[in-house]
Structure 1
Amino acid sequence: MNIKEAASRLGISARAIRFYEEKGLIQPAKQSGNGYRTYTENDIWRLQTIAALREIGMSLQDITHALAEIDQGNQQGLEEYLELQQAVIYAQWIELKRMMDTTQRMIDLNRQDGSLDVSHLHDLAGSARRLREARQNWHDRWNYDQQAAIHDQRVQTDRTKADKPFSLYHNYDEALEQSVQWISPVPGETGLDIGTGTGNLAGKMLDRGAIMTGIDQSREMLRTCRWKYPQMHVKLGNFLALPFADQSFDFVVSSFAFHHLGPDQQELALGEIQRVLKPTTTSRICLTDLMFTDSAHRNTYSKHAATSGDAEQQRALRERHFPLLGELCSRLTHLGYETKYMRHNELLHTVLAVPQP
């Protein structure tokens, strides 16, 4: 068929078809005599795919990659691009919700008796802007895609060297087992593991009969996780815009991931965790991570690290944001949870949060 017939069949403009051709997304054959383009059923199918992906807001660059995955018959690769787009849409939706909440708070302030203090509106707007920037500014500075192939080996090596001055994964097994013990999943319960990596914590929950979903920002980590735990649901995503509907899970866990977020981002992450938890008395949160007990502990530890000469320890303090245990528990209390914690070594803690009675 010619371009007008193709446009009519698809319900799009001929101009759009020409645009997709200019971008190299389709390559229709040309008649030898007059050079007119001829569109086959395969071209129509490809245009339908492009139109569908554009409808969900996917960029032309990502559409190009997605079509390449389709051409290679790589269903998993296509799914990853769709999940990435879904994560983008969720992030936009969450930001819109926050804007609506801020607007409603401004309306409520305006309705109060007496003259409106404009500074309150300014403070609200500033807070909203700060949190928006915190969500937008997160990025993976550690390139976990490249680390995925050796991650489990690194954990195994690191956790067995208790004599090292600094080890991210010292007492790793003990901490994960504590998470499982405190969550105590009931068979059939739904759980979310944020920053699941290769699925080590989620796998322990699966063994207890939980229906586990893991998210991570690293495609390669998730590919390893799928290989290790094919029964597990995995999706691309991160703490700041969880790609799930409200009230989706019975419990949420995370291990060795929360400290990748800055302080404002940690606040956003706790709000997102609460959003996807079911509002029941049995919902629970369990975070296992390296933390300072308080600011005094952080200062003492930082001073010691500065004189120790341990380059890995010093780099970790520069690049990561180990939360303050007391501050984390206070934030969870403010959200309506009771907390308890267990200390595994100088930095590593497991924190459990359950709804207040």
Structure 2
Amino acid sequence: MNISDFRFNALFDDWADDYDATVALETGEYKDVFKNYNEILNETVKHVSKFKGAKVIDIGSGTGNLTNAASNIGYNVIGVEPNSKMLNIAKEKYPFINFISGTFLSLPIEDNSLDAVISSYAFHHLTDDEKDTSAKILKSKLKKDGVIVIADTMYDSEKTKSDLILEAKENGYTNLLHDLNTEFYSTHDILTKIFEKHGFHVSYQQMNKFLWILTAKLK
């Protein structure tokens, strides 16, 4: 198990049972992180912009909510999740969807076979170096006109990062502050450089004060 897989499992073993309740909360420390949650999922799958039946994978699929949103559009979607507890919950919730074990860095998918890769609230668990490695792996799995759509916490600038950390501190949001200081949330500049290095054109859409949708299309 590589270090990113370990981080995934350590976090979600403790969170799996309460994940769906957490993302639905409209109060508390994380209310702004998950604000517009269902809209975010629906907007993410819209950015795929592929034909009905297109082959899509959702990495870090968790309890399967984004995977299901893609299925509802008519995509041939597979959920990919490293944590066994999350995987079992997703299979129980959505028995008509195929969920398999895997990660951004260990992906049991045939090369040049995917129309799109989607992900929500997961990519930030990778360091910037791991994100770079993942971008290379994901490109190898995509068809020549493939697209990657990632909905996650990220920053449009270092100033925004500092402002949000300060705001969490002033509000006494201890857990959120810890996350903002320790998780691997990247800036647009870093993410753009990573994906452009591997031949993608990158665009962003903001969905709440923390979350942006990154769309990376192969040039």
Confirm or deny a common fold (TM above 0.5).
Answer: yes
**For residue 149 of structure 1, what is the amino acid of its counterpart?**
D
2:17 to 144, 149, 154: 149
**For residue 20 of structure 2, what is the amino acid of its counterpart?**
D
1:227 to 75, 92, 97: 92
2:113 and 2:141 in contact (8 A); partners too:
yes
Aligned residue pairs total 217
Deviations 1:24-63 (A, max 9, x none): xxxxxxxxxxxxxxxxxxxxxxxxxxxxxxxxxxxxxxxx
Q: Give 1:166 deviation, angstroms.
A: 5.6
Partner of 1:252: 117
Secondary structure of the structure 1 residue equivalent to 2:119: strand
Secondary structure of the structure 1 residue equivalent to 2:74: coil
| Aligned-partner Cα distance in 2 for 1:165–1:290 | 12
1:166 and 1:313 in contact (8 A); partners too:
no
Q: Give 1:196 deviation, angstroms.
A: 0.2
Q: Give 1:165 deviation, angstroms.
A: 7.2
Determine which structure has more spread, i.e. the larger CA radius of gyration: 1
Partner of 2:7: 140
1:291 to 138, 142, 154: 154
| Aligned-partner Cα distance in 2 for 1:156–1:308 | 21
* Structure 2 segments unaligned to the other structure (5+ residues): none
| Aligned-partner Cα distance in 2 for 1:304–1:212 | 38
Secondary structure of the structure 1 residue equivalent to 2:184: coil
**For residue 145 of structure 1, what is the amino acid of its counterpart?**
D
1:185 and 1:209 in contact (8 A); partners too:
no
Q: Give 1:309 deviation, angstroms.
A: 2.2
1:327 to 163, 184, 190: 190
Secondary structure of the structure 2 residue equivalent to 1:193: strand
With normalisation by structure 1, the TM-score equals: 0.57
Deviations 1:307-351 (A, max 9, x none): 442102211113311111222122212211212211112221001
Q: Flag as ranges the 4+ runs of structure 1 deviating above 4 A.
A: 163-166
| Aligned-partner Cα distance in 1 for 2:31–2:22 | 14
Q: Give 1:227 deviation, angstroms.
A: 1.5
Secondary structure of the structure 1 residue equivalent to 2:149: strand
Q: Give 1:222 deviation, angstroms.
A: 0.9
Q: Give 1:205 deviation, angstroms.
A: 0.9
How do residues 84-163 of structure 1 correspond to structure 2 at under 5 angstroms? 136-138=2-4, 139-140=6-7, 142-157=10-25, 160-161=26-27
Bigger shift: residues 283-292 or 297-306: 297-306
Secondary structure of the structure 2 residue equivalent to 1:244: coil
1:192 and 1:253 in contact (8 A); partners too:
yes
**For residue 326 of structure 1, what is the amino acid of its counterpart?**
D
Matched, 1:176 2:41: yes
Partner of 1:120: none
1:267 to 120, 132, 144: 132
Please state which structure has a larger fraction of its residues in strand: 2
Bigger shift: residues 343-352 or 181-190: 181-190
Change (3 A) 1:268 1:151: same
| Aligned-partner Cα distance in 2 for 1:211–1:165 | 32
Secondary structure of the structure 2 residue equivalent to 1:207: helix
| Aligned-partner Cα distance in 1 for 2:167–2:16 | 31
Q: Give 1:150 deviation, angstroms.
A: 2.1
How do residues 10-49 of structure 1 correspond to structure 2 at under 5 angstroms? none
**Cα RMSD for the two superposed structures:** 2.0
* Structure 1 segments unaligned to the other structure (5+ residues): 1-87, 89-135
Secondary structure of the structure 1 residue equivalent to 2:215: strand
| Aligned-partner Cα distance in 2 for 1:165–1:268 | 29
Please state which structure has a larger fraction of its residues in helix: 1
Deviations 1:196-216 (A, max 9, x none): 001111101111111111111
